[in-house]
Amino acid sequence: MSLVLVLNSGSSSIKFQLVDPDQHATDEPFASGLVEQIGEPMGRVTLKHAGEKHVVEAPIPDHTVGLDLAFKLMAEHECGPTDVELVAVGHRLVHGGLVFSKPELITDQIVDLARSLIPLAPLHNPANIDGIEVARKLLPDVPHVAVFDTGFFHGMPPAAALYAVDKELAAETGVRRYGFHGTSHEYVSNKVAELMELPKAAINQITLHLGNGASCAAIKGEQPIDTSMGMTPLAGLVMGTRSGDVDPGIVFHLHRTAGMPIDDIDELLNKKSGVKGIAGVNDFRELRRMIEEENEDAWLAYNIYIHQLRRYIGSYMISLGRVDAITFTAGVGENDSFVRADALANLEMYGIKIDPERNALPNTGPRLISAHDSVIKVWVVPTNEELAIARYAKAFA
């Protein structure tokens, strides 16, 4: 079995998976795990393989030690990169800016280019690049491939990609809509074309990636024409801990009137807002339990979330003109039937009708949840960004 190692390196963590690129989206990966608390006094590596979970605790001062420990733990359980037929390493890179529109074979030059984009994603890209450099040293004999979260949205029309701010300043500073979760939106929209047995070029789709982070996309044939995340992943839908769209004037108000430093406002909008900001929890299972207990804040958080989601769906229906499919994916989209039903309730006059029984089925794989007479087909398609990255990476092997 040829396997691809998929790495998603954050500032204090590295998620890893050894994936068979030919597996089904809902199959467990061959091995998976997490290195966490890098840079703290005590770190932890967790590995899942063959139905078992293994944990090692040790200080992990940097990504090199972290990945090395992960590989050793994998080797102990005979699933290390040298125990298997490793054909490539796929790296998730959050920001590809205007430079990258498709996956790239990583060379020194590509690393330098990715480094030049750090000002656009100062929290994400440096950690992604650390992961790349460490992995290239530890596994020098296989191709390393970078897959960009922004890549799919690279060719969006200027009317959707540009903000109405000073044109020259925006160009100089890289201020424009890039969009994120591109790997997921592309994977899911390809899958829907396959399920509908139609060429992708012939259908218009709305894809709703509703996880802890959330975004939606309007896709005309092969080409995304709009998406809800912006220059950063803070924009758009209400998320687990991120506010999504707010009046930008709020930032000035909090700074000037409430005296909050910019970094605190950044943390407020990214980590303490969204569903969590209103209800105190960001997990939708917890939110549902609170709603069932008639907790008013949970209900309010849910209503704000659905209100914003419906706004985007409506605006994308107008942008696309004709819509053939609307698809839910990611943790909330795949599992929460209430969110799906409420997001598309009372839209029969627009050709959207969910079948309650189909909608209530458990998340076992891709499925149609619209009624047989719904003009617009509504789907749930489990996303699998690691598998998509593995498939891109294998193409370079």
Q: How far is the CB of 316 from ligand AMP (least distance, A)?
A: 20
Please report, as residue ranges, which positions from 308 to 337 form the binding site for ligand AMP (by CB under 6 A): 330-332, 335-336
Query: Among 10, 90, 103, 240, which residue sits at the site for ligand AMP (rule: CB under 6 A)?
Result: 240
Q: One of 130, 149, 226, 324 is an active-site residue; which one? A: 149
Site string for ligand AMP, 180-219 (x = CB under 6 A): -------------------------------xx-------
Give, for 159, the enclosing helix (H) or strand (E). Answer: helix 158-161
Residue with smaller CB distance to ligand AMP, 191 or 220: 191
Phi–psi pair at 77, nearest 5 degrees:
-105, 25
Binding residues with ligand AMP: total (CB under 6 A):
12
> Residue 246 has what DSSP assignment?
-
Whether 149 is catalytic is yes
SS3 177: coil
Tokens (6 digits) for 184? 């997921």
CB of 75 to ligand AMP, least distance (A): 28
Q: Is 283 in the site for ligand AMP (CB under 6 A)?
A: yes
Choose among 254, 294, 292, 295: nearest CA to 273: 254
What does the H/E/C string look like for 45-109? EEEEECCEEEEEEECCCCHHHHHHHHHHHHHHCCCCCCCCEEEEEEEEECCCCCCCCCCEECCHH
- Smallest gap from Cβ 63 to ligand AMP, in A, equals 22
Select from 210, 342, 226, 340 the least CA-distant residue to 274.
210
State which of residues 285, 289, 307, 311 lies at the interface with ligand AMP (CB under 6 A).
285
> Applying CB under 6 A, which part among 115-123, 216-224, 249-257, 282-290 lies near ligand AMP?
282-290
On whether the CB atoms of residues 100 and 48 are closer than 8 A, the answer is no
Annotated binding-site residues for substrate read 92
- Binding-site residue positions: 8, 15, 92, 209-213, 283-285, 331-335, 385
